[in-house]
A and B are shown apart, each in its own frame.
Chain A
């Protein structure tokens, strides 16, 4: 016997009830996804696989579509450069004159720096490997500021790697698939980056809010900030290396201190990913190798360690 032939066969609830139930089910599903989704932390991998799979599909499609858009952008730039060539020429001449004077000063300082390093025995950080990638998706809404780039785990990128533009820090990698990665920009609402103020050595947390200039939250500094103070990554927390250029401090229209990002002046097509994992990368391997560790045996006589580097080896300064 079908349901239609039963005692409730003539009961026809209003369709709005059915729609309301469907809406409630869909809303609960969406809310469950929202509450369960974390970009970082122990539950980051709950939806990480689905995100990476989607990124893997979106990236090639978007990469193909981006080609004519790049041409259009290049066309706009060419037109702009054509009409502004005179002004740009004068500006470049001024910058060149300033740069030449800076070059002499830089050469002097470099020589002095090398001499002092030699005297003090300071070793410098080894260079970090870098991967260049092209942006294929640029999300710029108020609730999410991310970029999808066409390089992934196959090129050594891991979550947490810093992403730099031509002029400064852009963000950090929060999702990695074999051939694509998702970069969380400094301007994203969920972005938090420990930074330092160069002039005062103050510390703050750069907090994105979806706008172009992130806020300086939890600011701790002895001297008050000034417009134009340089802001770098502090390296606190160990996620990012210290000293990456971020931008300049500025007073926002709401009275809070914000940062005008250096990366605003960079083209958005390309980013470079710094393959930074831990501060151990910045230390030569020999320094961290165990040399004078005591033996674990308690009864047997302690074995004499093999001869090590001479005691005059300069101590490595704390990681920057």
Chain B
């Protein structure tokens, strides 16, 4: 085993720091703001770690980190408890299963897969909210949130690049 492969990831750095940053960014974006009479859309920052953690390495910690992050979003936004954890896990699980395939993709292709993960998360949200409320959530609003969240891929890519060679046992 080379020294490189023996290097372990510090959970505080690859899990805790992105969680804290996403929570802070979500809190800032939830501040009341109207610009020219319009309320800006609400990006789903938590999708950045949900996608990147699945790509970086398989671990038993990210599902619980996503559970915690999702519950924070539910409490912050006043959504039903459990909605955003389910949506984030719906994005994380397929990425984890396809990580070998995804790690061989170029940046534009990876961006498209990130958008697909974002669509999976929001589709899960639409499904569960429709079941709960009996009304299909406004799809224009969903599309806006999809667009602003898909635009955050460079941050996810940065997180993946930062840790992709950190533990080569999982390459």
Contact = CB atoms under 8 A, between A and B. Distances in A.
B138 A209 contact: yes
A69 B33 contact: yes
B34 interface: yes
Contact of A143 (B58, B61, B75, B137): B137
A54 B75 contact: yes
Nearest to A26: B63
Interface stretch (B35-43, B108-116, B150-158): B35-43
B141 A19 contact: no
Nearest to B93: A23
Nearest to A61: B27
Interface residues of A, number: 65
A268 B30 CA distance: 12
Contacts of B135: 189, 207-209, 215
Contacts of B125: 142-143
Contacts of B83: 34, 143
Contact of A209 (B62, B78, B137): B137
Nearest to A148: B78
A269 B75 CA distance: 20
Interface stretch (A93-101, A132-140, A193-201, A311-319): A132-140
B39 A138 contact: yes
Contact of A31 (B32, B76, B86, B140): B86
A33 interface: yes
Nearest to B169: A15
Contacts of B80: 34, 37, 39, 144, 190
Contacts of A174: 78
A264 to B, nearest CB: 8
Given A135-B32, A144-B77, A210-B141, A26 B27 contact: no
A192 to B, nearest CB: 9
Contacts of A136: 31-32
A141 B141 contact: yes
Nearest to B135: A209
Interface of A: 15-16, 18-19, 21-23, 25-27, 29-37, 39, 47, 50-51, 54-55, 58, 61-62, 65-66, 69-70, 72-73, 76, 80, 135-144, 146-148, 174-175, 182, 184, 189-190, 207-211, 215, 265, 267-269
23 contacts: A16-B58, A16-B96, A19-B59, A26-B63, A27-B86, A29-B85, A30-B86, A37-B80, A37-B81, A37-B82, A50-B75, A54-B76, A66-B32, A80-B36, A135-B32, A138-B30, A140-B41, A143-B126, A144-B79, A189-B129, A208-B135, A210-B141, A265-B37
Given A23-B92, A137-B30, 20 more contacts: A16-B58, A19-B59, A19-B62, A19-B96, A26-B85, A29-B67, A30-B85, A34-B82, A47-B81, A54-B75, A58-B27, A58-B75, A66-B31, A80-B36, A138-B30, A138-B31, A138-B39, A142-B138, A142-B142, A209-B138
Interface of B: 27-28, 30-37, 39, 41-42, 44, 58-64, 66-67, 70-71, 75-83, 85-86, 89, 92-93, 96, 122, 125-126, 128-129, 132-133, 135-142, 144-145, 170
